[in-house]
């Protein structure tokens, strides 16, 4: 990913665009064949020379063109013929986004697979589900991870759409009138280099495209943040249902030798803030003056490489985190049982309704006993068995059946079939 965004690669894309335009002009008889041979044979640049020239020109494209001209000689008069800076800048950027996007999509797809596999491996691992951070009802750890797998797939789809609509170039000249570059030349060149064309470009490709791209990246980063936050909670000492892999020789704290911290998950959560911040800047870039200004340019030089690099890194780290995750299934069972059976309250409620009680009366009975369980730590099942309002309707065997956590997973296989199809 870094290689896409270095200056050498950026200038290389500019030259790729310039040469494709020269070939199109040559096919139209504008550039003599001998000059085209000279251009293609000698075109070159160095980052150092272009940057040195820019100190004088204060214009990066002019400096680059001067650098190339020094290599080519007289035939260089045809390079950039009829073009304006944005033709090469925005078309080169379209190439960068296409290539960086392919890398990003590969990482996102790989994360989907890792999450899918973890979900399937733990489809029958019973764990407590939480709402508001409080024990709710039994669930499957695999089912919990499955939600992240599907979210990752949605991010694949979002990113693919966003990259595709941003893999766009423009070769319509100053203010986009095609006065010096005909539309058929633009179409021919963009097809050659594998980009779509902006239908009406003014002088630049419309920045709502880039805003959509960076926003899609921010959503993907936020999804990773959600995953990381979940795993960070589950690694807390009081919970410890899962744990990041802790490698030989790794240190968790300079002061406390016992520490094994969720540093990878925390790093992912932190970088998500960076990518989300980039989306705000990208949205600010949409509103440019008239046919163009360059207020977006300085912003994009920072946020696009940074957002791509950060998200690519986060996706790689998330794969490492999930792939190496240590899952403590016995601890999950301990925590499920730690609430004294409170997590089965809804099933008791429904059973009492099934005996003929109104929902309001059944709710009052179960809630009364649940509050007693909270306060005294006496198991809910014992309290219900001793409650005449319950005992006259549900015998001991019926109550025991209601406290079986496997009941809550009776339809999980149907969901997991969808996961397996990812």
Phi first, then psi, for residue 267 (nearest 5°) are -65, -40
Task: Find the Cα–Cα–Cα–Cα dihedral 397, 401, 403, 408, rounded to 10°.
Answer: -170
> What's the rounded Cα separation, in Å, for the pair 111 and 273?
20
- Contacts of residue 236, defined as CB under 8 A and 6 or more positions apart, other chains included, come to none
Query: In whole angstroms, what is the distance from residue 400 CA to residue 254 CA?
Result: 50
Residue 318: helix, strand or coil by DSSP? helix
Extract the tokens encoding 338. Answer: 């730690």
Q: Is residue 129 a contact partner of residue 138, using CB atoms and an 8 Å limit?
A: yes
Q: Which residues are catalytic?
A: 132, 253
Of 92, 48, 93, 95, the residue nearest 70 (C-alpha): 48
Integer-rounded Cα radius of gyration of the chain: 31
For every residue of 78-146, DSSP letters joined together read GTTTT--HHHHHHHHHHHHHHHHHHHHHHHHHHHHHHHHHHHHHTTT-EEEEEETTEEEEEEEHHHHHH
Q: Give the C-alpha separation, 234 to 114, whole Å.
A: 19
């Amino acid at each position: 990913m870094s290689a896409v965004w270095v200056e050498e690669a950026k200038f290389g894309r500019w030259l790729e665009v310039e040469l494709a335009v020269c070939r199109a002009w040559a096919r139209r008889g504008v550039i003599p064949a001998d000059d085209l041979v000279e251009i293609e044979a000698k075109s070159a640049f160095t980052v150092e020379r272009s940057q040195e020239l820019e100190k004088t020109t204060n214009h990066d494209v002019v400096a680059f063109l001067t650098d190339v001209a020094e290599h080519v000689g007289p035939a260089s008069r045809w390079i950039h013929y009829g073009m304006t800076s944005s033709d090469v800048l925005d078309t080169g950027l379209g190439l960068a986004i296409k290539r960086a996007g392919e890398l990003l999509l590969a990482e996102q797809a790989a994360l989907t697979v890792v999450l899918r596999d973890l979900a399937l491996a733990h489809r029958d691992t019973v764990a407590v589900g939480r709402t508001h951070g409080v024990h709710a009802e039994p669930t499957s750890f695999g089912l919990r991870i499955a939600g992240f797998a599907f979210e990752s797939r949605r991010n694949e789809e979002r990113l693919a759409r966003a990259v595709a609509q941003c893999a766009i170039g423009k070769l319509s000249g100053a203010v986009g009138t095609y006065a010096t570059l005909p539309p058929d030349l633009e179409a021919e060149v963009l097809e050659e280099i594998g980009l779509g064309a902006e239908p009406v470009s003014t002088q630049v490709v419309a920045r709502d495209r880039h805003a959509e791209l960076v926003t899609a990246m921010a959503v993907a980063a936020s999804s990773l943040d959600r995953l990381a936050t979940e795993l960070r909670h589950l690694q807390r000492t009081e919970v410890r249902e899962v744990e990041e892999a802790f490698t030989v020789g790794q240190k968790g704290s300079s002061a406390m030798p016992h520490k094994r911290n969720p540093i990878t998950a925390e790093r992912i959560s932190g970088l998500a803030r960076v990518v989300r911040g980039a989306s705000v800047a990208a949205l600010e870039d949409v509103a440019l003056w008239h046919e163009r200004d360059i207020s977006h340019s300085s912003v994009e030089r920072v946020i696009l490489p940074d957002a791509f690099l950060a998200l690519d890194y986060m996706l790689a780290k998330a794969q490492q985190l999930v792939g190496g995750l240590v899952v403590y299934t016995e601890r999950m069972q301990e925590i499920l049982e730690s609430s004294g059976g409170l997590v089965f309250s809804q099933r008791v409620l429904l059973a009492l309704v099934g005996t003929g009680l109104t929902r309001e009366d059944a709710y009052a009975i179960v809630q009364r006993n649940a509050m007693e369980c909270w306060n005294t730590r006496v198991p809910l099942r014992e309290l219900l068995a001793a409650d005449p309002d319950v005992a006259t309707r549900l015998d001991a065997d019926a109550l025991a059946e209601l406290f079986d956590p496997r009941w809550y997973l009776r339809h999980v296989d149907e969901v997991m079939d969808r996961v397996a199809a990812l």
